[in-house]
Amino acid sequence: MTFDRPDAQQRDDIDPLAPFRQRFIIDEPALIYLDGNSLGRLPIATIDRSSRLIREEWGRRLIRSWNEAGWWDAPQRIGAQIATLIGARPDEVIIADSTSINLFKLAVAALRHQTGRQRLLTDDLNFPSDLYILQGAIELLGKQHELGVMPSPDGVHGADVAAHLDDQTALLTLSHTVFKSGFTYDIATVTAQAHEVGAMVLWDLSHSAGAVAMDLTAAGVDLAVGCTYKYLNGGPGSPAFLYVRRDLQEKLHNPLSGWLGQRSPFDFALDYRPAAGLRRFLTGTPPMAALALIEPGVALLNEAGIAALRGKSVAQTEYLIALWDAWLRPLGVALRSPRQAAQRGSHVTLAHPEGWRINRTLIEQMKVLPDFRAPDNIRFGITPLYTTYTEIYDAMARLRQVIEEKLYERYDPAERPDVT
Ligand SMILES: Cc1ncc(COP(=O)(O)O)c(C=O)c1O
């Protein structure tokens, strides 16, 4: 493989998704942004949507907008657009609350549904907050369940799930793509293994939705949750989505039963009667200003198509790994993501004992913006709608320079901001 800048530029020239980059705000063209896996860029269309929402719908039409401007139906309407990206049916996805809260609601609902089974199973690559939520759910349910945490063999690859499942497993919950290494489970295989012993499965799709192709319907997935502010470009802290398979919707109960999930909220009856279908998993009033801003970003992903996005993501992560192999491996940088594309999401993690200071140097001096995950991991997020091959080439060339010239030595290892 040739590694020079003209080759990278040529890859961009023939990339059919390249024009999508112009649909985003790129205020600082020299900045190489490789953190769209944490906070996606701002689509230009979102600014128009925001201004219409604030000035017209809120400013002028006021309360009437709940009916007139599609506010009331927005959780389901935008959910249906996300359904296309994750291989679900339109009535199986809804926007509500945060990922953490949705995980709590669905985990509690599943554990209550699976009477007589005591085990809740996850792995040690999962986002730690997901484990905190599960611990809270167990506490709430009277400590009748135990949480099994399957170990990863090497801190990069996922656990051997089949070996840990048994007829006491009520619920298996995993991140589809794990946050640190980017390892990606095979949803169809793992879901089938869980179903074989009668366990339900709840997938956290935060790091895969919008970048990794999947088919929840074909896999018969029970439950899922996910963020909208990463690859879906919904904006900082935008509300999350949840998925419940159609035939389970009427069987499960939302433990946070609130008026938005009530059958007829404006009857103001004193007793809770759950709404039909997925609306029962709503709780309170949706944060409309934030929720509306999810729609333009998701529309861009659907316009590009998830198969094309995944194809480019795989090609770009392969390209990054090839550069690592040629330039960085000899300098003591380790690859902490799977080498096999089918097992990888859309970010690549590289590790070095000076990872924290190297990451800081990239940000402060090199106009490269990845992120850092303790103890020594630097994550490079590839967002196929707007990441270019030239950016990947330049980022790896600058990383090589930072290490070769030890440019990181001027930073104090103890000085860390709140968000890394
Ligand atoms: C995999 C995963 N799950 C859950 C969360 C928590 O999401 P939230 O803080 O929006 O509830 C995150 C946040 O980054 C995440 O990466």
178-209 confidence digits (pLDDT tens)? 999 999 999 999 999 999 999 999 999 999 99
pLDDT digit string (tens) for 247-285?
999 999 999 999 999 999 999 999 999 999 999 999 999
Distance 362 CA to ligand 1 centre (A): 25
The whole-angstrom separation of Cα 278 and Cα 29 is 42
Closest by Cα among 364, 369, 366, 393 to 380:
369
Is the Cα dihedral 178, 306, 48, 93 positive or negative? negative
pLDDT at 408 over 80: yes
Two structure tokens written together for 381: 């997020």
The H or E element containing residue 128 is: helix 128-140
Q: Which two tokens stand for residue 47?
A: 């600014």
Q: Would you list the domain boundaries of the chain?
A: 5-44+306-410, 48-303
Find the residues whose C-beta lies inside 6 A of ligand 1: 98-100, 127, 129-130, 175, 179, 204, 206-207, 227, 240
Considering the segment(s) 48-303 as one domain, its CATH architecture is: 3-Layer(aba) Sandwich (3.40)
231 belongs to the catalytic site: no
Round to whole Å and give the CA distance between 381 and 208. 11
Residue for token pair 């709430």 = 140
Class of domain 5-44+306-410: alpha beta
**What average pLDDT does the segment 10-28 reach?**
98
From CA 1, how far away is CA 61, in angstroms rounded? 59
**Coil, strand or helix at 148:** strand
Question: How much is the average pLDDT of 24-31?
Answer: 96
Rounded distance from Cα 230 to ligand 1 centre (Å):
10
Question: What pLDDT, on a 0 to 100 scale, did the predictor assign at position 61?
Answer: 98
* Predicted confidence band of residue 415 (pLDDT cuts 50, 70, 90): confident
User: What percent of the chain has pLDDT above 70?
Assistant: 100
End-to-end Cα distance, the chain: 34
Residue-wise pLDDT for 79-107, tens only, equals 999 999 999 999 999 999 999 999 999 99
